[in-house]
Chains A and B, each alone.
Chain A
């Protein structure tokens, strides 16, 4: 470096050794050196020239004038020189920094290579910390942060019938109610109704059951989505007598039509009816993209329906989802006030229906909240958990570096003595930690890439938009950010501590580490304490979720799913246009299934428990007139074939099962569950009592012929309502679930069942064909997802903090070897040494537990919403976790403590 040998550099290098920061500031911001240099040089030149002219006999003033004349304009010369000088300074500073950085990096790399164990531990820990954060962040981003694919999404709300009863807070709307809301509202510039319609696509290869929605023609305009191909619905679509049209989703278009643009204008066969494709929506649009209340399942296609014209329907038949867009400038509170006004008009107009004891109102929920509201709590909890894990990683790294710093003290002192300033030393240490954190972060991204795949695979099926999870630029930027941040955090602590160390005493002590003062150890104690506390907090939250999950598993769902296979069918109206044909199809299918080898019992039901389908409605009990204003009792309805209760082993408590004689023309009968029997006829037998069902003319009755056990239809989380089973042969309907109990392996029955359906109707698609225990698993999939992930992170946290504790205790033993040696030499027993070290470890762990306990109680509210019949302060969980942490910590302390007992006093004293 030629320029480094210039006077200026040499001078400033000398200064560097003393005050690096000031030198940096001076060269970069204080322009004194160059300025002064130029000034002096020009002044010197002019002075010499003037002296010469005076010596030649000129008067001083004239000499000065002549010198200036000869020199030219001093100011422009000075300015030009200053500019060049500044550029040179900056360049030199940069070169110097680059050079130092190269030195630091090289030095750090050598050091890391020399300590492969340390490097491996550091990289793995960091990879875990950054990886977990990156993976969870990628999910949070896809699910919570990514914008919905609709221009007006932020102004769209969902409107529900809200009842003050668990499970009915967001209930469907009747067509008549929708029409009223649409007419009376003053705060929306559009209101749409949506209803789910299963549609079988026929004649394009394998028949397939699709998720279709009949929607108001204005739906996509209201949401703010335009087709990428063809046209959207017009106001005319869906009116009586208009052309039958359909809009396809991008996914369906790609899957079934190979992305062929010519499909627009073609007619496709949906369940035997032809509909003309008018357009294809853009990729990513699949309204409802995430479950919106009872509307679940991404849309494959949409057909227009004139709900607006369907005015005359009953107010009890509630099956519509309603979305509306707030007028611009209108807040949701104003919309809620508007809906309240409409609701009070409803109450005045139909007091029997709305003025009941179950508080009823029209509620509005922002679309975004509706789509992600359920998972937000869990995801934020997971994000918090991984953040805590990363913090533990940082603390652990700081501790590791501190421990190593103790060993490196002599080396650092030596470098200090040779002229490296404190800032320079700190920068070198920081370079090391940055190098580690960046390498660890890179590994972490790999881990996250794999982890995100696993998360999507673990998909509980009801986390919206989980398929959008990607490790993209933003996620990578996030990883880089947290890696740098982590490197700064864990690098700065030891760097500051070590750059402060006293050079002379470090050198004199021969580097035996005995100069590590009380402050050093107090600091490291605090770090480990914090680790234990954070691990405890995470473990408690995970423990609570485990308890809650166990409680869910303990719930008796009321039926036995083992050995049962279920499948879902929806036979098309066009082909099965009479009750007889519908009944005929299922009768034949049932007898075919029953004849399959290994099948013990075949039957069918709608809806099958825990399928996500539900059917609710009110009923009237004979001879129990309602007081004015008292609402009709509500029940879960089901339609079943004979043998259903046997197939699912739902205990028959009284009376008889449905039979093939309970057919059209025979007296109308029902089976009810114990809950309904107990509530409607307390203290009496329900058999022979009569009730009026939905769809049954007023004054006609169905007789209760049997009472069965209560079943958890929606999942173990929900108790559910009283239940009514109607005989299929009296109420044939097209969507149905076939269930078959087999003595053999249920999965083996799957292909045979598919063949049986095909034998009855080759055009008929089958969905959800699976062993029934999977439905049960599916019902608690989200809970399992949360529990597994949080437990994983908590375990990682525990392992990390135990490693931290072990490292520190080992360091402590090393540090106090001299003292222990003296004690042993003076007649202390090895047991004393053991107690000394164990005591120190236990004190730290107990303090950590105490802090963790306070933290866990304070934070437990965050997990409360996710718990099922488990207290946030469940003493058993707290106690077990505390015992676990204590036990593991003891084990981690034991090894170093035991080593302390093996100290040979002679060796310890000699080496000191």
Chain B
């Protein structure tokens, strides 16, 4: 099933991850799965790139990590949103909405 895959827009990965974590703590693989399922794999995400993004956001204090146990019984890092991260998500989402509306407006004309 060769569906078209769009390249990810620069800077939106953080927003997507934060959005993913809104519903609760997840480990990295679960985030990848969730993104894949919600977008029906429409985004070309190299899954490895999730991890540097996670580390970066942890460093910025947007998310925090905790050791938990995975479904296959292994130790795994579970990421969850911090209040600072929620705030960041709100900002990025509204920016994104502006951007989307502007692009859509242009595309509707002519």
What residues on B are CB-neighbors of A11 within 8 Å?
67
A44 CB–B CB distance under 8 Å: yes
| A80 CA to B51 CA, complexed, in Å | 9
What residues on B are CB-neighbors of A74 within 8 Å?
48
Across the two chains, which residue of chain A brings its CB closest to B77?
Answer: A41
| A7 CA to B80 CA, complexed, in Å | 11
B39 CB–A CB distance under 8 Å: no
| Stretch of B9-17, B26-34, B89-97, B102-110 lying at the A interface | B26-34
**Which residues of chain B have a CB within 8 Å of any CB of chain A?**
27-29, 32, 46-49, 51-52, 55-56, 58-59, 61, 64-67, 70, 72, 74-77, 82-84
Q: Which among B28, B46, B64, B75 is the interface contact of A6 at CB below 8 angstroms? A: B64
Q: Which among B27, B46, B84 is the interface contact of A44 at CB below 8 angstroms? A: B27
CB atoms of B65 and A7 under 8 A apart: yes
Q: Which A residues between 807 and 827 are near B, CB-CB below 8 angstroms?
A: none
What residues on B are CB-neighbors of A8 within 8 Å?
65
| A81 CA to B64 CA, complexed, in Å | 15
| A71 CA to B47 CA, complexed, in Å | 5
What residues on B are CB-neighbors of A38 within 8 Å?
51
CB atoms of B59 and A87 under 8 A apart: yes
Across the two chains, which residue of chain B brings its CB closest to A85?
Answer: B55
What residues on B are CB-neighbors of A5 within 8 Å?
64
A37 CB–B CB distance under 8 Å: yes
B27 CB, min distance to chain A CBs, angstroms:
7
CB atoms of A81 and B46 under 8 A apart: no
Across the two chains, which residue of chain B brings its CB closest to A48?
Answer: B29
| A547 CA to B20 CA, complexed, in Å | 90
A359 CB–B CB distance under 8 Å: no
A744 CB–B CB distance under 8 Å: no
**Which residues of chain A have a CB within 8 Å of any CB of chain B?**
2-3, 5-8, 11, 37-38, 40-42, 44-45, 47-49, 51, 70-74, 76-77, 80-81, 84-85, 87-88, 91
Interface-central residue, A3, A47, A74, by most chain B CB under 10 Å: A3
What residues on B are CB-neighbors of A49 within 8 Å?
29, 47
CB atoms of B47 and A72 under 8 A apart: yes
Q: Which among B46, B55, B75, B84 is the interface contact of A72 at CB below 8 angstroms? A: B46
CB atoms of A45 and B55 under 8 A apart: no
- List 14 additional contacts besides A2-B61, A48-B29, A91-B59; criterion CB under 8 Å: A3-B64, A5-B64, A11-B67, A40-B75, A41-B28, A44-B70, A48-B72, A71-B46, A71-B47, A77-B49, A77-B51, A80-B51, A84-B55, A88-B59
Which 5 pairs of residues, A with B, have the shortest CB-CB distance?
A: A72-B48, A72-B46, A77-B48, A84-B55, A7-B66
CB atoms of B58 and A6 under 8 A apart: yes
Q: Say yes or no: A88-B49 contact (C-beta < 8 A), given A2-B84, A6-B64.
A: no
CB atoms of A45 and B32 under 8 A apart: yes
Across the two chains, which residue of chain A brings its CB closest to B49?
Answer: A72
Across the two chains, which residue of chain B brings its CB closest to A37?
Answer: B77
What residues on A are CB-neighbors of B70 within 8 Å?
44, 48
Across the two chains, which residue of chain A brings its CB closest to B57?
Answer: A84
CB atoms of A42 and B61 under 8 A apart: no
CB atoms of B76 and A41 under 8 A apart: yes
Q: Say yes or no: A81-B55 contact (C-beta < 8 A), given A37-B77, A44-B70, A71-B48.
A: yes
B35 CB, min distance to chain A CBs, angstroms:
12
Across the two chains, which residue of chain A brings its CB closest to B54?
Answer: A81
Across the two chains, which residue of chain A brings its CB closest to B74?
Answer: A44
What residues on B are CB-neighbors of A44 within 8 Å?
27-29, 70, 74, 76
| A106 CA to B82 CA, complexed, in Å | 30
| A87 CA to B84 CA, complexed, in Å | 20
| A88 CA to B52 CA, complexed, in Å | 13
Q: Which among A3, A72, A80, A87 is the interface contact of B61 at CB below 8 angstroms? A: A3
CB atoms of A41 and B64 under 8 A apart: no
What residues on B are CB-neighbors of A45 within 8 Å?
28-29, 32, 47, 51
| A199 CA to B61 CA, complexed, in Å | 81
10 cross-chain CB contacts under 8 A: A5-B64, A37-B77, A44-B29, A45-B32, A49-B47, A81-B51, A81-B52, A81-B55, A88-B58, A91-B59
Across the two chains, which residue of chain B brings its CB closest to A87?
Answer: B59
CB atoms of B52 and A80 under 8 A apart: yes
Q: Which among A2, A7, A42, A91 is the interface contact of B51 at CB below 8 angstroms? A: A42
| A791 CA to B76 CA, complexed, in Å | 73
Q: Which among B52, B75, B82 is the interface contact of A2 at CB below 8 angstroms? A: B82
B36 CB, min distance to chain A CBs, angstroms:
9
Interface-central residue, B52, B70, B76, by most chain A CB under 10 Å: B52
CB atoms of A73 and B48 under 8 A apart: yes
What residues on A are CB-neighbors of B51 within 8 Å?
38, 41-42, 45, 77, 80-81
What residues on B are CB-neighbors of A72 within 8 Å?
46-49
| A73 CA to B56 CA, complexed, in Å | 18
A275 CB, min distance to chain B CBs, angstroms:
78
B37 CB, min distance to chain A CBs, angstroms:
12
| A72 CA to B46 CA, complexed, in Å | 6
| A6 CA to B68 CA, complexed, in Å | 12
| A76 CA to B56 CA, complexed, in Å | 15
Interface-central residue, B55, B58, B83, by most chain A CB under 10 Å: B55
| A257 CA to B76 CA, complexed, in Å | 86
Interface-central residue, A45, A49, A73, by most chain B CB under 10 Å: A45
Interface-central residue, A41, A71, A74, by most chain B CB under 10 Å: A41
| A829 CA to B70 CA, complexed, in Å | 78
Interface-central residue, A8, A47, A48, A87, by most chain B CB under 10 Å: A48
B40 CB, min distance to chain A CBs, angstroms:
15
Across the two chains, which residue of chain B brings its CB closest to A88?
Answer: B59
What residues on A are CB-neighbors of B29 within 8 Å?
44-45, 48-49
Across the two chains, which residue of chain B brings its CB closest to A80?
Answer: B52
CB atoms of B32 and A7 under 8 A apart: no
| A2 CA to B86 CA, complexed, in Å | 13
B60 CB, min distance to chain A CBs, angstroms:
10
A73 CB, min distance to chain B CBs, angstroms:
7
| A71 CA to B51 CA, complexed, in Å | 10
What residues on B are CB-neighbors of A6 within 8 Å?
58, 64-66
Interface-central residue, B27, B47, B51, B77, by most chain A CB under 10 Å: B51
A475 CB, min distance to chain B CBs, angstroms:
44
| A219 CA to B74 CA, complexed, in Å | 88
Across the two chains, which residue of chain A brings its CB closest to B56?
Answer: A84
| A88 CA to B32 CA, complexed, in Å | 24
What residues on B are CB-neighbors of A71 within 8 Å?
46-48
What residues on A are CB-neighbors of B66 within 8 Å?
6-7
A89 CB, min distance to chain B CBs, angstroms:
10
| A820 CA to B66 CA, complexed, in Å | 60
B52 CB, min distance to chain A CBs, angstroms:
4
| A208 CA to B49 CA, complexed, in Å | 88
Across the two chains, which residue of chain B brings its CB closest to A43?
Answer: B74
B84 CB, min distance to chain A CBs, angstroms:
6
| A87 CA to B58 CA, complexed, in Å | 11
Across the two chains, which residue of chain B brings its CB closest to A75?
Answer: B48
Q: Which among A47, A48, A88 is the interface contact of B55 at CB below 8 angstroms? A: A88
| A5 CA to B84 CA, complexed, in Å | 14
B21 CB, min distance to chain A CBs, angstroms:
14
| A38 CA to B59 CA, complexed, in Å | 14
CB atoms of A70 and B47 under 8 A apart: yes
What residues on A are CB-neighbors of B32 within 8 Å?
45
| A48 CA to B67 CA, complexed, in Å | 17
Interface-central residue, A6, A37, A49, A76, by most chain B CB under 10 Å: A6
What residues on A are CB-neighbors of B77 within 8 Å?
7, 37, 41
| A84 CA to B66 CA, complexed, in Å | 17
A27 CB, min distance to chain B CBs, angstroms:
15
| A690 CA to B70 CA, complexed, in Å | 123
A452 CB, min distance to chain B CBs, angstroms:
51
CB atoms of B52 and A84 under 8 A apart: yes
B33 CB, min distance to chain A CBs, angstroms:
8
Across the two chains, which residue of chain B brings its CB closest to A71?
Answer: B48
CB atoms of B47 and A7 under 8 A apart: no
Across the two chains, which residue of chain B brings its CB closest to A7?
Answer: B66
Q: Say yes or no: A2-B72 contact (C-beta < 8 A), given A45-B47, A84-B52, A88-B58.
A: no
CB atoms of B59 and A84 under 8 A apart: yes
